Structure 1
Amino acid sequence: MATEVTEFAEPQETSYILIRVLGKGAFGEAVLYRKTEDNSLVVWKEINLANCGDKERRDSQNEIDILSFLDHANIVSYYNHFIDGDTLFIEMEYANDGTLYEKIYNQTSLFPEKTVIWYLFQMTSALAYIHEYGIIHRDIKTLNIFLTKSGLLKLGDFGISKIMQSQSGMAETLVGTPYYMSPELMQGHKYNQKSDIWALGCVLYEMLTLRRTFEASNALKLARDIVLNQQSDINSMYSQEMQKLVTQLLQKEPANRPVCEEILKNSLFTKQGDLEKKVWELNSVARRARLTACSVSETTVPVVKAQMCEVYVWGGGKITPQKVEFFTKEKSPIQVECGESHFAVVTVEKEVFTWANSQGGSSMVGQLGHGDTAGYKIPKLVEGLSGIPVKQVSCGTDFTICVTDDGKLYGFGSDYYGCVGCDTSEEDDILSPIPINYFTSIPIEEISCGDSHCVALTKAGDVYTWGCGEFGRLGLGSEDDHTTPQKVAIPGKHFIKHVCAGSDGTFLIATNGRLLASGSNENNKLGFNSPTSGLRKRKKKVFDIPCKYMFSTVKPLSRQHIISVSPGTSHSACIDIYGCLYTFGCNKYGQLGLGDYKKRSTLNRVGGVLVSKKVEKVSCGDGFTVAATDDSQLYSWGNGENGKLGAIFKEQGKKTSTKCTSLPRPIFGSLHVVPYLSSHHWNTIIIAEKVLNQKTLKPRVSSPKYNLLNSPKAARVPFETVPEDSAFVEGSQPISPACSEDLPFTSDSSNATSPPNSRPSSGNKDESSIPPWLEAELQDAAFIRIPSKESNLLEIGNLSPVSEKDEKEIYGRTTADKDILIAQLRAKVDKLTEENKLLQETTEKQEELIKSLRLHP
């Protein structure tokens, strides 16, 4: 009988690049990382378990349990968690515009009521969601409300949240931040979700007045004011409905405060459907990130890297690479692009910075997108795209196009040929970014700009071109210009994965590695020319193709699987799947890299020093080529005038110019990885990365509780002996008389600890094949009841111990049921053990058979 052997997938490494530390606390810190798979930003909450007490460990576990379950647009998303030694890493969504506290603190004038309504709707929606499942946040404050640059609000920090056994249940522990504590909390009374409503009222009051609801010089006076005094009136500029709502939320008696559902029915939210739609649209990027994180296998191994990431430019008078000091760790670049007279960079924050080439001499017509025609010499943020996450930018001669995370296009600069795609008739220059409305409902995956035309690839795989149509560069079968995008007919059954526009031609790369092109083929820069075959003594001829009006396969490259292509002004270069570099086109300045300056009519592979190397990136400019290899080297060759090559070479032999070199030459003094480079006209810009150190973390395990509570320190105190409400916020310290907002106020209502839960006996361990650690897990396992339609009860993690009498009602199982379940699991383990034993015997027999065959072939 054949035995099937299951092969386990190898762990997959995922790289995380350290960006900066966002904040520190007593037990850890929040650190911003860039995930290299999709260039997304994530926050890792790093908690040092060795320095944590039992309460802090419980809070960390509680935050994981709650965040991993919650899925709402206005709640910080949980992605993953890892444990490395004594450090717990919780991977969460990054809100890139700080906190509501910072927003209010930096506000110089009162918020418009429309803005307050927008924020209030999102906060209330988040609270309604968690209250529906019987969760009390217990620490709602402006510091725990995060903002994105798109205007979304995210509720976070669930470390001291409590899950009620029923919505009518009441909690007793005094937790939270003093300024936002409800009167019942201050008096030590029992509380429920209405305590969060009071905190919501305090946050709303701060937005309306830019000051705290109650302020005092010490904790005792603050408590007295909260219990006895009334808040001051808000400005009369706000509507009566808003003033009335503030009064309702800040009622001293909890029963008089409205619930979240009642707040959302307020007349202030008359257009609730529009608000919900806006939230859904703005959260599309985070929603995709969460789905991606959920689909990642548990075998994923995170690799944390600390690296140096810099931007260098040369050309246009700069003979050697010049570092752009502006792009530090806080503004690390992920993509760069250059036009004839300007540069553009996309940073890790998905922001776009542009500036002009100081040696270019060309006038600005709005290609920088700063609302004017000034030639800024240092990088400047394109404020018109503030709050819009941009994933890619492409530059033409005097215009720029950007692609956002959700596939929308924005353009600015000269619209002479309709390249910006707005079909303007009164004004040709667009000084600030405007949306290209044609693609409102057609998400774009990639954009590429030539000198005077554009080509875009949609997420569905369709190709659109627009702009100047001379020489058939648009691939539409004619030389007509088009001011609006036109869908291109792709020949055959090719599926396109990349697009690339040149000076007067366009390339498409299919998923099968085929290269398609249209436009001017002057000097064979599209690679269409191929030699004819005939009699042996007949001279070899090359059939010249001047241009192509429709996209056609570049047949001389049909045997290569092309993955990257770069067109220059008079020549082009492409890389195949093996890292081999091919060049074709004009060779007047040695830009083909073949060691001479002879005219070449066909396809050529670059040899010399690149023969034994794998080329990963290539870019062609006006008479020169730049290439990066897998051994972290950068090479250039061709015309070196105006600093195009980034170095001065002493070329040997006959040449057309003393500043030209026809062989690849290294130009960087130290080894750097070049993930992105771009050349245009005489300019080149690159990203140079150098890994300083890296560390591989342990993969996530199935039971975070086991990891958090089984360290040497935690083992001294059983989990069941920890008071249920001994919650304390990370980084907390004793409250000073000034009552700092950053410090939570914690006081247990009772010093008595909960007694350990009674567990059924596991029996004789010698009679069972269950490992000790698994048996311990089964004994300590909590049962989660699925809530019925009539009840919104949610049980996550360990709750307070319950009596045997109530066990059936709450958990749906009794102790006897647990014994049966454990017996069933034990039987399954025994069965697996027998199967493994059988598999081992079969393997031994196979080895003996192989050995005998080797001895007696």
Structure 2
Amino acid sequence: MEKYEKIRVVGRGAYGTVHLCIRLSDRKQVIIKQIPVEQMTKDERQAALNEVKVLSMLHHPNIIQYYENFLEDKALMIVMEYAQGGTLLDFLQSRNGCLLEEEDILKFLAQMLLSLQHVHSKQILHRDLKTQNILLDKKKEIVKIGDFGISKVLSSKSKAYTVVGTPCYISPELCEGKPYNQKSDIWALGCVLYELATLKRAFEAANLPALILKIMRGTFSPISSHYSPQLQDLIRRMLHLDPTKRPTINQIMAQPILINTIMNLHTDMGKVPSVRINRPLSSMQGTGRQRMSLRGNTTARDGISSKPQPLSSVFCWGGGILSPSKLPLPNNETQVVQVSIGRTQRAAVTKNGRLFVWESQAVGTESLIPGATEGVAPMFVPRYLEGQAAVTIQHVACGDLFTACLTDRGILMTFGSGVNGCLGHGNCSDVTQAKIVEALLGYEVTQVSCGASHVLAVTNEHEVFAWGRGDNGRLGLGSYESTASPKPVPVGQNVHPCSVHCGMDCSVILTLENSLLCSGSNRYNKLALDTITADGYTEQMVEEVLTFTPVQSAPLNSLAVKMVAQGTSHSALITEDGECYTFGSNQFGQLGCDCDPGNRRPVLVASIKHHSIAMLSCGDIFTVAVSTDNEVFTWGKSSRGRLGRPDEDSHLPKVVALPKDEPFTVNSLSSSHGSTLIATKPSQRSPSP
């Protein structure tokens, strides 16, 4: 105890004594639970050690933090975080019968769900959730779940049978002697939620037999009509007698009444308040009013006006647009950090986490003069994603008729056409507004890729999930079957996927080891799965594989790969040395060389080998590459403006002439079908006056 100074005793019980202390190194207040182990039975000692084991496994902002443990004076000392706001029970009792607002209830519930999700992800059951074990911060806004003394760490096959916990929160299955599982924690959480809404316990009785009878009947008084029907229904489902009928944590978190609350937590809790102005579509297009900006305003000095420089520019070509055309942005303050293009969509993510799409007005396309070959280029209007003002988006990917977007908390949302189950919601229904992919709520997704009709996602734990159309084995699940829900993809031992890339009928995984794994159609050897030796001899040709398989074609099977992209019938990659290789069909010159259209060997794009390539993208029958010195090269079929440049020597890489009003850096590139989208930012900005 030489590192701590005791202040006072804040609790006593059969387990021991709880002290409020000061940690001398930083003067931080902590709780030390003193548990005398010498007089304990073997089971009691095991329970005390179990609490240390459980606490050391948990690291979450809504769980009481464990610092350390040590033995002193024949007692086990457990040092933990101090929650200054007391227990949730104390808080509810202090209300004196004044009901909470539904918004406040949902804030508490969302935090408890996130913490319990973390607990269950570690194969731990809390087994004693109650308002006495839920603590609050000083402002009584942040929830901290504590007291894991009787928690159960499950092995892969073990079940918890012991009847434990506070009687008022025990589930019906425990009353019947059935095994305790996650659904029993859901029951206890339902009791806590009921208590938040009524300030009373859901089940109370004068004695234990009467209490058990009440719990077994599942009867409780309805909550006030002051609360929404959605909240009332959620409580009823969490307190369903049949545990299989109770929702999972992920299902609860996906409820419409909770989504915005969950999304808001990371901005509302413990952050400096910020102002975000959400402008409707009309305000993006100009209202005739003067707007003020903290940076980049139009200013006048000595009678000379300086026009504000945009923080980003986005260029588009292809699909009838013959040369790079600058797309309109919501305003000059928009900083685009990532773009994606699909068959029908153009989407962008801004630096402050907003997602917007460009809607085509298709001007002139329906009134062509007889004999004309091209219509007037369509007008594109930016529109922010509706209903997601509080969500911070960090990544977007477009499929054929659908879109996937990823929040900064690793939550994946999809919307658009649900054909082939590519939205991942367990069905083939269309969704007009972004909806959370419920099956992945327990994972932190770091990147997602959309093909024409399938999707792959990778998590921070290097797990890969796939869903959507399954023919050709494009999902890598070992079959041709489609699936409307994310399924874990087997990738083998000692493999650490870091990014995923979907093609038309195939998929590629790039690993931390800089190697490629491919699955699906290998037509024209576009996945480099043919066994080709270093001297160019083809030993074996492969048409398709159903599981992810390492590339077999030299020299790719021995190169360290930095980036990969897929087109309809060809692929391209960048090595760690900045070299660009292409492989697959060369029917339209999409490999960037003069090799035979039937060539199945990977080739180095020799004409740009003196440039270090930083990023690339493949359309249907063309390729785009960007060098580290911000030169944009295109090659392949040039019809309908695919290359964004005149079509001379279209099969060889040539520079696209982007407007250069000022030095710029390309920070995002995306191609799909016959179009390309490029986002740039100024390389340097003069200081504001």
Q: Where on the TM-score scale, by shorter chain, does this alignment land: which range?
A: 0.5 to 0.7
1:593 maps to: 592
CA–CA separation in structure 1 for the residues paired with 2:558 and 2:445: 30
User: CA deviation digits over 1:458-498, x for unaligned, max 9?
Assistant: 12110000000110000011111111111011124211111
Task: Using the TM superposition, give the Cα deviation of residue 587 of structure 1 relative to its aligned residue in structure 2, in angstroms.
Answer: 0.6
Task: Using the TM superposition, give the Cα deviation of residue 431 of structure 1 relative to its aligned residue in structure 2, in angstroms.
Answer: 1.5
User: CA deviation digits over 1:427-479, x for unaligned, max 9?
Assistant: x3212221111012122111110001000001211000000011000001111
Q: Is 2:574–2:580's contact at 8 Å kept on the other side of the alignment?
A: yes
2:544 maps to: 547
2:492 maps to: 491
Which residue of the other structure, out of 589, 612, 624, is the alignment partner of 2:610?
612
Q: Does 1:379 align with 2:378?
A: no
Count of residue pairs brought into register by the alignment: 404
2:570 maps to: 571
Task: Using the TM superposition, give the Cα deviation of residue 662 of structure 1 relative to its aligned residue in structure 2, in angstroms.
Answer: 2.6
Cα distance, 1:376–1:474 mapped onto 2, change above 3 Å:
farther
1:482 maps to: 483
2:424 maps to: 421
Q: Is 2:311–2:334's contact at 8 Å kept on the other side of the alignment?
A: no
Q: Is 2:264–2:390's contact at 8 Å kept on the other side of the alignment?
A: no
CA–CA separation in structure 2 for the residues paired with 1:379 and 1:569: 28
Alignment of 1:492-507 (within 5 A): 492-507=493-508
CA–CA separation in structure 1 for the residues paired with 2:420 and 2:506: 15
2:509 maps to: 508
Pick 1 or 2: higher relative contact order, CA cutoff 8 A, min separation 6.
1
Task: Using the TM superposition, give the Cα deviation of residue 666 of structure 1 relative to its aligned residue in structure 2, in angstroms.
Answer: 3.5
Alignment of 1:424-443 (within 5 A): 424=427, 428-443=429-444
User: CA deviation digits over 1:610-662, x for unaligned, max 9?
Assistant: 111110010000111111101111111111111111111433xxxxxxxx333
Task: Using the TM superposition, give the Cα deviation of residue 388 of structure 1 relative to its aligned residue in structure 2, in angstroms.
Answer: 1.1
Task: Using the TM superposition, give the Cα deviation of residue 281 of structure 1 relative to its aligned residue in structure 2, in angstroms.
Answer: 7.2
| TM-score, normalised by the number of residues in structure 2 | 0.53
1:454 maps to: 455
Task: Using the TM superposition, give the Cα deviation of residue 352 of structure 1 relative to its aligned residue in structure 2, in angstroms.
Answer: 1.1
CA–CA separation in structure 2 for the residues paired with 1:279 and 1:433: 15
Task: Using the TM superposition, give the Cα deviation of residue 282 of structure 1 relative to its aligned residue in structure 2, in angstroms.
Answer: 3.9
Which residue of the other structure, out of 677, 683, 688, is the alignment partner of 2:680?
688
Task: Using the TM superposition, give the Cα deviation of residue 358 of structure 1 relative to its aligned residue in structure 2, in angstroms.
Answer: 5.4
Q: Is 2:359–2:380's contact at 8 Å kept on the other side of the alignment?
A: yes
User: CA deviation digits over 1:373-427, x for unaligned, max 9?
Assistant: xx994111111322111111111001111111111111111111101111236xx
2:16 maps to: none
Per the alignment, in what secondary structure is the counterpart of residue 646 of structure 1?
coil
CA–CA separation in structure 2 for the residues paired with 1:644 and 1:522: 23
CA–CA separation in structure 2 for the residues paired with 1:533 and 1:277: 54
Cα distance, 1:356–1:488 mapped onto 2, change above 3 Å:
same
Alignment of 1:346-745 (within 5 A): 346-357=349-360, 377-424=380-427, 428-531=429-532, 540-541=537-538, 543-556=540-553, 557-595=556-594, 598-608=597-607, 610-651=608-649, 660-670=650-660, 672-693=664-685
Question: Higher Cα Rg: structure 1 or 2?
Answer: 1
AA in 2 matched with 1:457: V
Task: Using the TM superposition, give the Cα deviation of residue 284 of structure 1 relative to its aligned residue in structure 2, in angstroms.
Answer: 3.8
AA in 2 matched with 1:611: K
Is there any run of 5+ residues in structure 2 with no aligned partner, and where? 1-60, 63-99, 110-135, 142-225, 228-256, 273-308, 367-377
Q: Identity, % of aligned pairs?
A: 29
Alignment of 1:165-176 (within 5 A): none
Task: Using the TM superposition, give the Cα deviation of residue 355 of structure 1 relative to its aligned residue in structure 2, in angstroms.
Answer: 2.8
Cα distance, 1:376–1:476 mapped onto 2, change above 3 Å:
farther
Task: Using the TM superposition, give the Cα deviation of residue 279 of structure 1 relative to its aligned residue in structure 2, in angstroms.
Answer: 7.9
Q: Is 2:400–2:453's contact at 8 Å kept on the other side of the alignment?
A: yes
Task: Using the TM superposition, give the Cα deviation of residue 277 of structure 1 relative to its aligned residue in structure 2, in angstroms.
Answer: 13
AA in 2 matched with 1:642: R
CA–CA separation in structure 2 for the residues paired with 1:545 and 1:645: 31
Task: Using the TM superposition, give the Cα deviation of residue 116 of structure 1 relative to its aligned residue in structure 2, in angstroms.
Answer: 8.9
Q: Is 1:316–1:357's contact at 8 Å kept on the other side of the alignment?
A: no
| TM-score, normalised by the number of residues in structure 1 | 0.43
Per the alignment, in what secondary structure is the counterpart of residue 524 of structure 2?
helix
AA in 2 matched with 1:462: E
Per the alignment, in what secondary structure is the counterpart of residue 421 of structure 2?
coil
CA–CA separation in structure 1 for the residues paired with 2:643 and 2:626: 13
Which residue of the other structure, out of 330, 335, 343, is the alignment partner of 1:332?
335
Cα distance, 1:495–1:126 mapped onto 2, change above 3 Å:
closer
AA in 1 matched with 2:645: A
Cα distance, 1:509–1:667 mapped onto 2, change above 3 Å:
same
Cα distance, 1:337–1:452 mapped onto 2, change above 3 Å:
same
Q: Is 1:464–1:486's contact at 8 Å kept on the other side of the alignment?
A: yes
AA in 1 matched with 2:441: T
CA–CA separation in structure 2 for the residues paired with 1:435 and 1:276: 11
Note the aligned Cα RMSD (angstroms): 3.9
User: CA deviation digits over 1:546-574, x for unaligned, max 9?
Assistant: 01101000123221111110001111101
Q: Is 2:327–2:380's contact at 8 Å kept on the other side of the alignment?
A: no
Per the alignment, in what secondary structure is the counterpart of residue 689 of structure 1?
strand
The structure where helix makes up a greater share of residues is 1
Q: Is 2:465–2:487's contact at 8 Å kept on the other side of the alignment?
A: yes
CA–CA separation in structure 1 for the residues paired with 2:484 and 2:258: 35
Cα distance, 1:285–1:664 mapped onto 2, change above 3 Å:
farther
Task: Using the TM superposition, give the Cα deviation of residue 325 of structure 1 relative to its aligned residue in structure 2, in angstroms.
Answer: 2.1
Task: Using the TM superposition, give the Cα deviation of residue 529 of structure 1 relative to its aligned residue in structure 2, in angstroms.
Answer: 2.0
Per the alignment, in what secondary structure is the counterpart of residue 438 of structure 1?
helix
Alignment of 1:106-505 (within 5 A): 114=102, 128=139, 282-284=264-266, 308-357=311-360, 377-424=380-427, 428-505=429-506
Task: Using the TM superposition, give the Cα deviation of residue 339 of structure 1 relative to its aligned residue in structure 2, in angstroms.
Answer: 0.4
Task: Using the TM superposition, give the Cα deviation of residue 598 of structure 1 relative to its aligned residue in structure 2, in angstroms.
Answer: 3.6
Per the alignment, in what secondary structure is the counterpart of residue 402 of structure 1?
strand
Task: Using the TM superposition, give the Cα deviation of residue 668 of structure 1 relative to its aligned residue in structure 2, in angstroms.
Answer: 2.3
Task: Using the TM superposition, give the Cα deviation of residue 349 of structure 1 relative to its aligned residue in structure 2, in angstroms.
Answer: 2.1
AA in 2 matched with 1:625: T
Q: Is 2:260–2:390's contact at 8 Å kept on the other side of the alignment?
A: no
CA–CA separation in structure 2 for the residues paired with 1:437 and 1:420: 11
Per the alignment, in what secondary structure is the counterpart of residue 472 of structure 2?
helix
Per the alignment, in what secondary structure is the counterpart of residue 602 of structure 1?
coil
The structure where strand makes up a greater share of residues is 2
1:772 maps to: none
Per the alignment, in what secondary structure is the counterpart of residue 685 of structure 2?
strand
